Amino acid sequence: MLNKKNLRHLMVAAAAAFAMPAMAQQNYAQDSATIKKIYDNALTSFESYENLRYLTKQIGARLSGSPQAAAAVEWSRQVMEDMDLDRVYLQPVMVPHWVRGDKEIGRITNSKLIGTADAPICALGGSVGTGEAGLSAEVVEVKNFEELEKLGKKNVKGKIVFFNRPFDNTLVETMGAYGGAVDQRGGGPVAAAKLGAVGVLVRSMTNDFQDVPHTGNTRYADGVAKIPAAAISTNGAEQLSKLLKNDPNLKFYMRMTSETLPDVLSYNVIGEIKGTERPDEIIVVGGHLDSWDLGEGAHDDGTGCVQSIEVLRLMKDLGIKPKRTIRAVMFMNEENGLRGGLKYAEEAKSKGEKHIAAIESDAGGFTPRGFGIEGSDAQLQQVLTWKPLLAPYGLHNIGEGHGGADIGPLKGQGTVALIGFKPDSQRYFDYHHTAIDTFEQVNRREVQLGAASMASLVYLLSEYGLNGTTAKAQK
């Protein structure tokens, strides 16, 4: 029996099939030839890859508020100014300034089986520190918030709560597995503190078994004690869980010197090519310029930034004159505040700008698979009519999906469609938010393919607009 969601999917697919004759009206041969030129150029140019090399190796990690984040702003502004775009500008935004401090120490102590053993941890973004002496307490393990509530204050007060819910590895799309586990990182410290806990450990957000801890942002709430919160590597989590079963009174020692400093002025960096026929209709393509401080921010999200810049370079180099304005945005502060995305949407609304589509690349620089469309059925139907043009390049996974965090605040401004670029997801969480997210982990050809994929969709959006957002363009 069909449920409402499956029925809707079938109706959209059927509508797209019936709309296929529209492809003939769009001069399929010319569009196919243009897309081929886009791929040919992208796959024989080293510019995006060399841009990534500079961003990661010369600038490095770019946590909001850091000198490296400021350097990345100036670098990306200069790169786009050198492209002779119609406009390059900075959009001011105040961002948080959290600092990690000394390298964290994690240690299992007083275990009957092993005595004392080091455990790889890292502070979660926004966490308070433990103080110079560190924190030592007994540990209580839970898989979810329901288990925590059942324990109650009697069993939690004065202890470190260990959230140990793993990814659901039966899910093929690892983004779904991440979504099913990440709430313990974001909400764990508040839930534990309400019951009197003195600290929190969270299993790292990855489907792999590693000794590398994965950071990521956490949250506090007014009126609730702020307690230190750290991620523990998946191998460390497995070991700690095993030992707790045999020794429920063991203790864990953690030392972190992280702190939050006053907000800092930073910028979104924006470059654009004006549309020749409908310049007031804007297509955004972007990634976030900030990264966590442990590695080099290569997959998250250096690749998204250089791919977005590459979209503009391809248009310029190939002499493509877009009918609609194409704007590349390097968003600041996606990782621990989303202030860049919020500021961009706020400015767009105050200026009465008309965005017809926004594409974000924030899932790593891996082999392209398709796009997730967050919009109306009519908009999805139109994108599906372009699938014959995109499928030859491996873009088969086109359908409903999440647009992206930075472009999310644009939702509700007119009829803008939010589109998430979808590369292969299987390796992303090996590197996500870690010290091993480095330039060496990125494949040059995969980055080039991603840029070409995004540029091809941007070209089609510029030529034809989207159903429900604009009148049909004429060739």
Q: Measured in Å, how far apart are the chain's first and last C-alpha atoms? A: 44
Q: What are phi and psi of 139, to 5 degrees?
A: -120, 140
Please say if 334 is a catalytic residue. Answer: yes
What are 272's strand-pairing partners?
A: 87, 327
The single residue of 272, 281, 334, 463 carrying the catalytic annotation is: 334
* Contact status, residue 18 vs residue 378, Cβ threshold 8 Å: no
* Residues known to be catalytic: 334
